[in-house]
């Protein structure tokens, strides 16, 4: 964050403008939402989509005594402490909400100081510049759950405008964002209808035939991939392998293919052949379980990991099998039969016993031809709508970026400058017993601070 600040603004760390960051508590809950007269604990999905969703909670068992200090109140700013990389640190402002909802250990509550507009703070944390910092400061595996600590969140840099300008920013943002919200709602509804139609059409096309249903392992060889372990990270026989990240709804994604060591016997077992159908065996999202793709020999001597299941056709056309299994996955049938908590698994044994409606080869070929002719048209319509959805999201990010850099509204020379607001906040923090922070605050009116290349020293302002 080295851009020039507008007049009256100051650069601070998030912790400098808060009276505290409160962590939730870990609870053992029942796997259902709480009734109105019960206590509930919010899930990370309550904070994922920018709006607080009070129904995304789990019931606290009746014998557990809730700690009312963790009860969520209207006006709270909540942040997802643990989530996927895209949503870790996602902020929401709680509006009206039911009583008896508790913070979980995967949620944080921010307590802004006086003079910090909660609405402005939520927009600032949601801005692309801050989101990038949060992503960089979070820890954990890139492909699964990420975590942001309280100290890391408190160290995130934000550009602080004067108090009066915060309110002007919020008013202008909400004017523009309300119109964007309306347009996105219309586009999302249209996209959902298109996808629903394609799911129904694909299911009807592949399944509505008069034919016998057989077990999948009667017409194909079903095998789980090779487990990845540290001892296989290196060796004399390194070969590429596919994993769940390489399977998408539109086919294979081969820009990031890993390697591990395979013996000759393992290579013979796990080497892919053209015509193999690969399905994602596990995912954090049940809707992603069973997502298939067709291998056509794109990489020589390529194998597959145990996050995938390989289905090798022996009595069914590979292309028909792909479309059939894709119809099952898109209809949510694999999701409905997956198992596990947190990570959902399909299982090679369950897939081997899956029933497949099997017409003769001629009918299979006709169905494949029909899908290959019609589905690209449906996909093109979805793609056109999805591009407009993405355009709207880009515009939203541009508005948030402009708001967080002082380019959305004009500065008013009569506003109290943000550095004076910071002084008041520090007095308030001391009154509340909050420890002092070293503020690396730089006002736009002050000269830029230079960093000594040999010592890395910068002036620290203690308020």
- Looking at the DSSP assignment, which residues form a beta bridge with residue 226? 305
* Mean pLDDT of the 391-402 span: 96
Picking from 27-31, 56-60, 215-219, 396-400, which range would have the lowest pLDDT averaged per residue?
27-31
121-132 per-residue burial string, b: 16 or more CB within 10 A, e: under 16: bbbbbbbebbbe
What was the pLDDT predicted at 460? Answer: 28
Per-residue pLDDT reduced to its tens digit, 146-168: 899 999 999 999 999 999 999 99
- Taking Cα atoms as reference points, which of 302, 173, 153, 190 lies closest to residue 238? 302
| Reported pTM | 0.75
Q: Which of these three, 319, 339, 358, is where a domain ends?
A: 358
What was the pLDDT predicted at 27? Answer: 83
Whether 175 maps to a domain, the answer reads: no
What was the pLDDT predicted at 456? Answer: 35
- Report the domain count for the chain: 2
Could you tell me if 35 and 108 lie in one domain? Answer: yes
Residues 125 and 129: their CA atoms lie apart, in Å, by 8
pLDDT over threshold 60, residue 438 = no
DSSP 271-303: ---TT-EEEE-EESSGGGTT-EEE--S-STT-E
For 167, 191, 245, 371, 437, the CA distances from 414, given in Å and listed in that order, are 15, 47, 54, 66, 29
Give the mean pLDDT of the chain.
Answer: 90
Q: What is the largest CA-CA distance in the chain?
A: 81
Could you tell me if 148 and 225 lie in one domain? Answer: no
* Mean pLDDT of the 107-125 span: 96
What was the pLDDT predicted at 15? Answer: 95
Q: Are 274 and 297 in contact (CB under 8 A)?
A: yes
Per-residue pLDDT reduced to its tens digit, 173-203: 999 999 999 999 999 999 999 999 999 999 9
CATH number of the domain to which 66 belongs: 3.90.220.20
pLDDT-derived band at 340, boundaries 50, 70, 90: confident
Whether 119 maps to a domain, the answer reads: yes
What was the pLDDT predicted at 322? Answer: 98
* Mean pLDDT of the 125-149 span: 86
* Mean pLDDT of the 234-260 span: 94
Could you tell me if 328 and 231 lie in one domain? Answer: yes
For 109, 111, 419, 424, the CA distances from 431, given in Å and listed in that order, are 20, 15, 19, 11
pLDDT-derived band at 453, boundaries 50, 70, 90: very low
Whether 365 maps to a domain, the answer reads: no
In the chain, helix, strand, coil percent, each to 5?
40, 20, 40
pLDDT over threshold 70, residue 446 = no
Picking from 111-125, 164-178, 317-331, 427-441, which range would have the lowest pLDDT averaged per residue?
427-441
Whether 198 maps to a domain, the answer reads: no
pLDDT-derived band at 142, boundaries 50, 70, 90: low
Could you tell me if 123 and 62 lie in one domain? Answer: yes
pLDDT-derived band at 396, boundaries 50, 70, 90: very high
- Taking Cα atoms as reference points, which of 261, 262, 277, 272 lies closest to residue 299? 272
Per-residue pLDDT reduced to its tens digit, 296-325: 999 999 999 999 999 999 999 999 999 999
pLDDT over threshold 80, residue 248 = yes
pLDDT over threshold 80, residue 463 = no
Q: Which domain holds residue 319?
A: 212-358
């Amino acid at each position: 964050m080295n851009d020039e600040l507008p007049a009256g603004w100051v650069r601070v760390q998030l912790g400098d403008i808060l009276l505290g960051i409160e962590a939730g508590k870990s609870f053992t809950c029942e796997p259902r939402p709480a009734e109105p007269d019960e206590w509930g604990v919010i899930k990370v999905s309550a904070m994922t989509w920018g709006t607080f969703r009070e129904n995304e909670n789990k019931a606290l068992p009746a014998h557990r005594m809730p700690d009312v200090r963790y009860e969520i109140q209207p006006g709270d700013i909540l942040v997802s402490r643990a989530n996927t990389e895209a949503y870790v640190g996602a902020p929401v402002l709680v509006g009206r909400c039911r009583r008896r909802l508790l913070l979980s250990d995967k949620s944080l509550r921010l307590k802004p100081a006086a003079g910090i507009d909660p609405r402005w703070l939520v927009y600032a944390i949601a801005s692309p510049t801050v989101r990038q910092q949060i992503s960089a400061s979070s820890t954990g595996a890139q492909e699964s759950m990420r975590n942001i600590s309280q100290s890391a969140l408190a160290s995130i840099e934000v550009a602080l405008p004067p108090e009066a300008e915060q309110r002007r920013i919020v008013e202008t943002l909400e004017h523009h964002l309300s119109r964007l919200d309306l347009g996105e709602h219309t586009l999302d509804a249209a996209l959902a209808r298109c996808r629903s139609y394609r799911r129904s059409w694909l299911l009807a096309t592949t399944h509505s035939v008069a034919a016998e249903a057989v077990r999948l392992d009667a017409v194909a060889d079903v095998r789980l991939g090779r487990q990845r372990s540290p001892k296989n990270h290196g060796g004399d026989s390194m070969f590429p392998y596919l994993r769940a990240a390489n399977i998408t709804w539109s086919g294979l994604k081969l820009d990031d293919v890993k390697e591990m060591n395979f013996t000759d016997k393992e290579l013979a077992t796990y080497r892919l052949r053209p015509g193999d159908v690969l399905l994602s065996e596990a995912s954090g999202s049940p809707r992603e379980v069973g997502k298939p793709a067709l291998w056509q020999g794109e990489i020589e001597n390529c194998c597959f990991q145990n996050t995938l299941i390989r289905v090798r056709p022996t009595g069914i056309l590979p292309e028909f099998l792909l479309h059939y299994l894709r119809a099952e996955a898109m209809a949510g049938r694999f999701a409905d039969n997956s198992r596990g908590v947190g990570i959902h698994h399909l299982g090679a044994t369950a897939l081997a016993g899956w029933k497949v409606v099997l017409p003769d080869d001629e009918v299979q070929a006709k169905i494949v031809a029909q899908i290959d002719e019609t589905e690209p048209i449906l996909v093109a319509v979805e793609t056109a709508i999805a591009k407009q959805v993405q355009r709207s999201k880009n515009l939203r990010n541009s508005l948030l970026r402009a708001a967080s850099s002082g380019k959305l509204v004009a500065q008013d020379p009569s506003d109290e400058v943000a550095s004076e607001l910071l002084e008041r906040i520090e007095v308030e923090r001391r009154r509340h017993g909050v420890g002092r922070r070293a503020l690396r605050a730089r006002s736009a009116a002050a000269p830029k601070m230079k960093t000594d290349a040999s010592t890395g020293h910068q002036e620290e302002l203690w308020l």
